[in-house]
Amino acid sequence: MTDKKRRQLVTFMGASTVAIPVGALLSSMPSHADEAPMVDADSAGAKNWEYVVMSPDESKNCGNCALYQGDPSAKGGPCPLFPGSDVHVTAWCKAYAPKPS
């Protein structure tokens, strides 16, 4: 093996050991920031707020609540009552407050 080929082999092996962990790290990360898990309506926190996925009143839901921080046309979005999870845009809870018009 020539010195040039030995250097190429060492360079290739070094790059491979770096590329594999970075690739594994990237594949384990969510591809979009808006992929938070949806609130589990059966969780203690949701029950505390009487959260339901489908509002019993069409005119009052997370999509038009003052606390909702997502896009009203999306499936769901953040609410400060449920950090780390998204609420369904169709949902409702007892903290509902209409968005000021």
Question: Which residues are at the interface with ligand SF4 (CB under 6 A)?
Answer: 51, 62, 65, 67-68, 79, 81, 87, 91-93, 95-96
* Distance in Å, CB of 11 to ligand SF4, minimum: 54
Q: What's the rounded Cα separation, in Å, for the pair 39 and 55?
A: 14
Q: What's the rounded Cα separation, in Å, for the pair 74 and 24?
A: 30
The CB density around residue 4, as the number of other CB atoms within 10 Å, is 8
Q: Which is nearer to ligand SF4, 19 or 58 (CB)?
A: 58
* Distance in Å, CB of 51 to ligand SF4, minimum: 6
Residue type, position 36, single letter: A
* Distance in Å, CB of 26 to ligand SF4, minimum: 32
